[in-house]
Structures are given as structure tokens and as C-alpha cells.
Structure 1
Amino acid sequence: MKTQVALAGLGIAVAHRAARGKVLRARTQPDRDLVSNGAGRPVRQSFVHAPDGARLAVNEWGDPHAPVTVVLLHGWTLSSRLWSRQIAVLSQHARVVAYDHRGHGRSDRGLAESCTLDQLGADLAAVVDTVAPEGRLVLAGHSMGGMTLMHLAEQRPALVVERVDGVVIVSSSAGELSKSDFGLPGPLGVGVRVLGPSVMAMLGRLESWAERHDALAPELWLAIRALCFGRGAPAHLVDEMLAVVQDVPLGVVSAFYAGLALHDGTPGLRALMDTPTTILVGTEDRLTPVSHSMRIARALPQAELTTFEGAGHMLTLERADEVADAICRHISRRPAADEAGDHLVAR
């Protein structure tokens, strides 16, 4: 028995050392595409009060009098910081507003029961009503941000019809997230679906412990890269994402996991039927696979669906230029009233 325990311990130690070596090699590999893509300091910073009083941190770039305002919505466990590459491009053509969802970035946390997609839709409405009450809008959402704009469309269909020139949905879903197996085979996938909610609830209770132990094990770093990125994604992109993720309290992560499981974006998609829409997804997305984007595209027959070979869930980092280009195309569109029936063709 002692021999078996010793061998198991040795195996764990060897695996840990191998994982640490993989992470070190990934971080030291040259990245010829690494350039400074930062958006620079915001031109304006403010806080918007959500309907329940929570303060949402809002940043703005570009000409405040531009005819089009682009509103950028980040994903679960992330923040508006990860839109910086797109902001650097978009702010040359439009006014850009990017804010942190409640419990993320610099925004107030609010109560656990407020961590729902319906609440995020109401939060988005509050931001628009406060900082962009007039003028044309383009809405772009990554992951949970894409779901948020679906809930805004359900709650405020007149706003969409009257003011939104275009929507870009990046690596997102219209629902059925509770069935996700993260692309894991057989029993592992079943385990994720069955045990995921209870594990995430337990993580929420470990928040105070995690704050005292913030070192990330190399095995977890590798697992996160495999889950969120395509194969061979540069290490600096993983580190950039993790620097943001590690600032989100585990209680917020846990509460929104439960909220995501209840998400149903189909009513909002019906409200977007006549809105020019672009859907973007990576072929190696494990969190919101291509099938989820195809379901959105079926609900929006006027939409354009584009897949990116080899890219994962973090499309805003892995295919930053292409995401920016997709949003830019909506900025340059004519207002819906002038289009006389022009439509995008799904492909």
C-alpha cells in the first residue's frame, strides 16, 4: 500500500513538473505578432447607476459628437479591458462606450440574486439611456455580452428598431448552456453537465480562501488555455485574459454561472429579426461551440455568420482585427430607414 501511495505521489510530482515546463516554454516562445494594440486612456470615465442602484464603470473613447456610438459588452469573468484592441480601431470612426458588467472590473458587485441576464439587459439599457440617449447605435457583445444585448432587445424592442444600425454577436449563445460539456468526451462531458452547478456553487463559498491563495497552478493555466483558446494560442493572450479573470470574485463567477444556465435569448432574437447582424465564432470554441452560433443564425435569417478556423472562445483576442473589422462594417452602414430592404446574406 505504501509503495502504491509513493508511486502515485511520484506520478503527481512528475506531471506537475511537466505542466510547469509546458507553461514556461509557452511563455518564452517568440510571438512575432505581438505589438502594442492598446486603446490608450479613455477620453471620459464615469459611473452609471443601474436600476437597483449598483454603479457601473463606463469608459468612452473617440469623438463625443460622432453620429454613431458603438457599445461594447464583455463576457463572463472578463472586463471591458479586453476590448482594447478593437477600441483602438473603432474610436477612429465612431464614439466608443465600453463598460464593466456588475461584479466585474470596476463596477459594483450588487446582490448575488442580481447576477442574471435579465438584470444585465436592464443595466445595458441604463448605460445607453445615460451616456448615449440620442443618435445611432451599434451593439457588439462577446459571450455573455452577446447574451446581454439579446435581453436588451427583448426588454426594449423599440430602442432596437429606432436606433440600432447593427449588432455583432461574438462567441455567444441563445441558451441551453446547462447542456454544455465543454467539448469533453464521454464520461468527462457528462460529469461537467451533472456536477458543474454544484462545483461552481462550492467555488463561490471558497471566495475568501481564494483571495489568500492567488497563485495559479500550471495545470490550471494549461486547462484554461485549452478551454478558452485555439491550439497554439500565444501565452501572452492567456496571461492577459487571466490577469482580468483573477480580479473577479469567485462569488460573482458562481452567481453568474447559475444565471447563464437560465439564459434564454430567443425572445430577444425575435426583436432583432430586422436588425443587420453579424455572428462570429471560432471552430475550436468549447464554451459556446459553433452549433450555438448556428442556432442564432437560424433565428436571424438576415444575419451573416462567419467562422474562424482554429480559433477558440476568446475571439476578441485571437482574431482581434477581424472582430474590429466586423464592427466597423456596421458603423459605415446607412441607417435602417434608408436601406430600402437591403439585407445581409447568411453564409
Structure 2
Amino acid sequence: MRVPSSDRISVVVHHFGGDGRPVLLSHATGFHGWCYLPIADRLAERTTAYALDYRGHGSTPRPEDWAVDWDRYGDDAIAAAEAIAPDGGLVAFGHSMGGAALLMAAHRRPGLFDLIVAFEPIVFDPSQARAEEPSPLVRSARRRRPSFESFEAAIENYSSKPPMQAFDPDVVRLYVGHGFRPAPEGVRLACDPEHEARTFETGATHRTWDVLGEIGTRVVVVGSADGAGPAEVAPLVAERLADARFVEREDWNHFTPFEDPAGVAELIGDAIDTELG
């Protein structure tokens, strides 16, 4: 379904089916909702899963001449969540950027969520931000090959090199199948590399850090031990939240939702049982 958000954008929300309480899956920068179908499938006996595509990702368009503003990702999360659970009480899983957007939504719409599982959300202290050379993620996004001669060629390319070399094969196929569009040259990325780069570049500029203590929603913050920025800040995010529990998995990394969908689905199910009974 398509639901209205800010800037006259209609956000695409995918219904993945299942049987049970509704759960919203919220994706990371550069990806899209379909990448989380393997997680949804493993939760299907106990939840009804939905996933959204944020603006400029997957099937949701980017406003023309839009300078990336992370607060608008929060608008998209609210639009999707309210469409799924207009009376509130939703459970949500957010990965990276998707975790930050869910926290924005929870701050602006108290009661919208009963529980958020935030996997290394991109929420940094903006007072610590400093001008520096573009991060490897920004440089990598700007160098990303935007098109291939076919879907099959794209799958073969991504499956042969890191980080996607370690992804569950279904995730790679879903990333390509729903993240590329037919084009004169073959197929082209729906998420423009420059849009992805700008999203990475501006990830420390939103002010969610300053309002974490005002968020009343129960949050399980998940962190890994891979040493990257989101992993380092995850326990600090949990400390600042009003009602949160921190879970660290030393055997995981920032891409684990794509590498081990079964393990992440189990974590989400355990969080629902533990936090909501």
C-alpha cells in the first residue's frame, strides 16, 4: 500500500503476511523493505509483518531537489506505522537508519509503539560531530556501480564481494530484485548512489540524541562488537533512553540482519516475549 507522508510523498508499505500481532520492519540506508522478508518469514507463525521503503529507497520516490533531512525519514516511519496500527501499540524492528527513524517516530507520537527493537540505530551526539574526510561508507556509496546489464549480472556481482558476499543468498536476490528497475542499459539502482551517500554523510546531523530521554516507548537496543561507530554508540543510546535494555552480541556485526535472518528473528521474538509477555 501507499501512504501519504510529508513533501507530498507516498511511502510504500509492503505486507509480508503472517499470523499474529503486527510488526513493522524498518530498513537501513541504501537498502529497502524487501531485504527483511527472510526475517518476516521466520516470524510468520506469531506476527503479521510489514516493511516500508523510505523516500529515495526501493519503491518510494525521492522528492525532487530534496537535500537529505533525516527528520523526514521520521515522517515516513510515522506514516507507515499509523497506517498499520492507527490505534497504536505496534511492535517495530529498526536496523541502522531504520532504528533512528523509529525513535524519531516514537518521540513525536507517544503510544504509537509498544516495543521497538533497534539494531545499532544511527543516533549520535551532534555536539561531538566534527568536519572530517568522507567516511568509507560515503566514498563507497559514491563509487557504487549504478547499473548492470541484467538482474542476474547484478546478483552475481554482489554475491562475489564483501559485504554482500556474506549475506544470506535470499537477501541478495531480494535486494537486487526489488532494488533495481529496468533501464535502457539493463537495470539501474532505485536508490541513487548520491542519495545513499548524502544519507550517510548527514547521519550525525539530526537531534534525536537530545530527546532520547523523552521517549517513553520500551526499547531493546542491540549492539555488536565489530568496533564501528554504530556499535560503539549503541550502549550509550540505551543509557539515555527512558525505558531501555541493551543487548550485546559479540558474534554479530552491523550487517547481521542480512547475514543471519534466523538469529535476528529469534531475537525479535524473544524481545516480544520478554518485554510484552
Length-normalised TM-score, structure 1: 0.63
Match of 2:214 among 265, 271, 291: 271
1:281 counterpart letter in structure 2: G
Answer yes or no: is the 8 Å Cα contact 1:165–1:330 preserved in 2: no
1:71-97 superposed Cα distances (whole Å, 9 cap, x missing partner): 110000011112112101223212222
- Please list, as runs of the form range in 1=range in 2, the aligned pairs for 1:293-304 lying within 5 A after superposition: 293-300=234-241, 302-304=243-245
2:52 matched to 1:91? no
2:5 matched to 1:50? yes
How far apart in 2 are the matches of 1:153 and 1:218?
Answer: 38
How far apart in 2 are the matches of 1:92 and 1:211?
Answer: 37
Match of 1:144 in 2: 97
Match of 1:125 among 78, 81, 96: 78
Match of 1:325 in 2: 266
1:211-269 superposed Cα distances (whole Å, 9 cap, x missing partner): 479988989x65x42xx89xxx4684885587359542113213312331313322442
SS at match of 1:307: strand
Compute the displacement of 1:282 (Å). 2.0
- Please list, as runs of the form range in 1=range in 2, the aligned pairs for 1:1-347 lying within 5 A after superposition: 46-62=1-17, 66=20, 68-113=21-66, 115-156=68-109, 158=110, 162-176=111-125, 194-196=132-134, 200=138, 210-211=146-147, 222=161, 224-225=162-163, 233=166, 236=169, 239=172, 243=176, 244=179, 246-272=189-215, 274-284=216-226, 286=228, 288-289=230-231, 291-300=232-241, 302-332=243-273
2:85 counterpart letter in structure 1: A
Answer yes or no: is the 8 Å Cα contact 1:82–1:316 preserved in 2: no
Instruction: Flag the structure with larger Rg.
Output: 1
User: Taking structure 1 as reference, are residues 194 and 92 closer, same or farther at Cα in structure 2, changes over 3 Å only?
Assistant: same
How far apart in 1 are the matches of 2:103 and 2:10?
Answer: 22
2:7 counterpart letter in structure 1: D
2:237 counterpart letter in structure 1: I
How far apart in 2 are the matches of 1:240 and 1:107?
Answer: 19
The root-mean-square deviation of aligned C-alpha atoms, in Å, is 3.9
Answer yes or no: is the 8 Å Cα contact 1:287–1:313 preserved in 2: no
From the two aligned structures, give the one with the greater strand fraction: 2
User: Taking structure 1 as reference, are residues 203 and 307 closer, same or farther at Cα in structure 2, changes over 3 Å only?
Assistant: closer
- In structure 1, runs of 5+ residues without a counterpart are 1-45, 181-189, 340-347
SS at match of 2:29: coil
Compute the displacement of 1:169 (Å). 0.6
How far apart in 2 are the matches of 1:72 and 1:53?
Answer: 23
Compute the displacement of 1:200 (Å). 4.6
User: Taking structure 1 as reference, are residues 146 and 105 closer, same or farther at Cα in structure 2, changes over 3 Å only?
Assistant: same
Compute the displacement of 1:317 (Å). 2.0
Compute the displacement of 1:163 (Å). 4.2
